[in-house]
Amino acid sequence: MDQPAQHQPHPVLACVENLEAELKAVRDVQPTFMTTGQKELALLGIASAQAQLVELKLRVLAAAGDLAETEGARDLGSWLCGHTRTDLRTARAETALAEALDRRWHQVAAAMAEGLVSPAQAKVIVEALDALPAEVDPSLVEKAEGQLVAWCTRFTPHELRALGKRILAVVDPDTGNQADAQRLQEEE
């Protein structure tokens, strides 16, 4: 007689369960006696894993709009705030970042999923790309996104913010000069 098929958890839920179990396993382990090299590897690995975990959270958030509707929350940010004890402003910012990565900035999301872009860097890149003039050629926008992602291995979020303001001048100097001239004219 065949055994009934057991219900397998969704891979994302299985991942969350495994992460929680692994974190619980080291909860009482003290890093005091780690070598300097081990501490370095641990800190770099944790930073990479954190970026990957935040990307997963954002990916789930991008698909979770139905939660707010199901529970009668004003929006997903409000739902997140109420269930995770997150500040409403932070929850709404996370939701906006999740939607931006899901709908438009796929290179940033992919680099986060690889642990190459930190959450703070992703936020800065998205802000810089969203600030580009609407008339910029989509191929230049894609090139700008790729360049900003590539710089994440060398620059902090603060440095990326400054670079993001001049990204058009890097990927296409003519377009960058035109955008700068237009921005100056609007400021005057």
Q: 57 or 72: whose pLDDT is higher?
A: 57
- Ordered by start, the domain boundaries in the chain are 36-103, 106-188
Residue 116: exposure state from Cβ atoms within 10 A (0-12, 13-18, ≥19): middle
CA distances in angstroms from 117 to 1, 17, 51, 121, 155, listed in the order given: 51, 24, 7, 6, 10
Asked if pLDDT for residue 187 goes beyond 80, the answer is no
Given a cut of 90, whether residue 177 has pLDDT beyond it is no
Model confidence at 128: pLDDT above 90: yes
Residue 162 has pLDDT above 90, yes or no: yes
Q: Is the pLDDT of residue 89 over 90?
A: yes
Q: How far apart are CA 184 and CA 14, in angstroms?
A: 52
Asked if 143 and 132 count as a contact pair (C-beta separation under 8 A), the reply is no
Query: For 23-32, how does the pLDDT look when each residue is reduced to its tens digit (9 = 90+)?
Result: 999 999 999 9
**Torsion angle (degrees, nearest 10) of CA 82, 97, 161, 41:** 80
Q: What is the spatial distance between Cα 166 and Cα 177, in angstroms, rounded to a whole number?
A: 10
Are 58 and 118 spatial neighbours (Cβ–Cβ below 8 Å)? no
| Percent above pLDDT 70 for the chain | 93
The reported pLDDT for the residue numbered 5 is 58
Q: Rounded mean pLDDT of 11-15?
A: 93
